[in-house]
Amino acid sequence: MVNQDPEQIARDNIDKQLKACGWVIQDKAKINLNAALGVVVRKYYTQDGKQLDYALFVEGKPVGVIEAKAEDKGFQLIQAEAQSKGYADSKLKHLNNEPLPFVFESTGALTRFTDYRDPKPRSRPVFSFYRPESLREWLKRGNPLRGRFRDIPSLKKTGLRDCQITAITNLEDSFLRNQPKALVQMATGSGKTFTAITAIYRLLTYTKANRVLFLVDTKNLGEQAEQEFMAYVPNDDNRPFSSLYGVHRLKSSFVPPDNQVYISTIQRLYWILKGEELEEPICGSSGKTDPQETLGTVG
């Protein structure tokens, strides 16, 4: 019999996503926190009697919560942040835990995530739940990525144009002000790709970012970007970028896990995420290849 209850449908979808991401799901009556690296317990209670929709455990220790909402309540996910934060700050039953850092709100179709270790925590939409291996790695590192933006040293200006210095400095200042979304606008011929690679090098080197997505809108631009990454030598290290970090241009739906920079067209990325192939244009509609690159997701 098909379950028509909207909230249960949402929970069923959440369960499927969690399993696909490597979590083992358990009911509170049959808890074995050592059954896997990542264990999710449904309907776990706090010491003051609140019931969590899901409690997340990594290596047997509580690390986060998921607040589930019916799919038609997606517009209320942001409103639910205070509720889920209250759960994360609570002591779990039989445990003397500290506040839990990782908090999700999800309808099974839409999911938002907050890392409360950030200097200025804020929720953001995510494609799915993070794997337990990822949460374990973040906890081992201690200071989260947004906190590590403070570790970036002053820019060495040798070999950089004034406009490039301004762009990189303002971008990093935006990160320091907890404004991770930024737009760099530069004129044709000003060295946009070189500027982007310099910014990427500094993120990978000084914040220890795991990987960077470099998005382009045509195959030609992807090829040009790959060549520039291979030729780039930073001004504070005499080794080429490609000997320091792995660079891979995506040419199929396979994404190798051992690189730090991934170059992709928008169409290729859509294919990878949605499983629906789109044709990649060779060049822009005008026939020109003036770079329209985007420094994408940093993680």
Q: What is the pLDDT of residue 251?
A: 92
Q: What is the pLDDT of residues 110-127, one digit of tens each?
A: 999 999 999 989 999 998
Q: What is the pLDDT of residue 283?
A: 67
Average pLDDT value for the chain: 90
Residue 57: is its pLDDT beyond 90? yes
Residue 298: is its pLDDT beyond 60? no
Q: What is the pLDDT of residues 259-282, one digit of tens each?
A: 999 999 999 998 888 887 777 777
Task: Work out the pLDDT band at 51, boundaries 50, 70, 90.
Answer: very high
| Contact indicator for 56, 38 with CB cutoff of 8 Å | yes
Rounded CA-CA distance 115/135 in Å is 10
Closest CA relative to residue 272, chosen from 256, 257, 255: 255
Domains of the chain plus CATH, in order, are: 6-142 (3.90.1570.30), 146-298 (3.40.50)
Residue 30: is its pLDDT beyond 70? yes
Among 8-17, 26-35, 43-52, 270-279, which stretch is predicted with the lowest mean pLDDT?
Answer: 270-279
Residue 76: is its pLDDT beyond 90? no
Q: What is the pLDDT of residues 130-151, one digit of tens each?
A: 999 999 999 999 899 999 999 9
Rounded CA-CA distance 39/30 in Å is 12
Task: Work out the pLDDT band at 291, boundaries 50, 70, 90.
Answer: very low
CA–CA–CA angle 44, 85, 126 (5° rounding): 95
Q: What is the pLDDT of residue 2?
A: 56
Q: What is the pLDDT of residue 280?
A: 76
| Contact indicator for 221, 233 with CB cutoff of 8 Å | no
Q: What is the pLDDT of residue 71?
A: 83
Q: What is the pLDDT of residue 295?
A: 54
Summarize the confidence of residues 204-213 as an average pLDDT.
94
Q: What is the pLDDT of residue 299?
A: 55
Task: Work out the pLDDT band at 288, boundaries 50, 70, 90.
Answer: very low
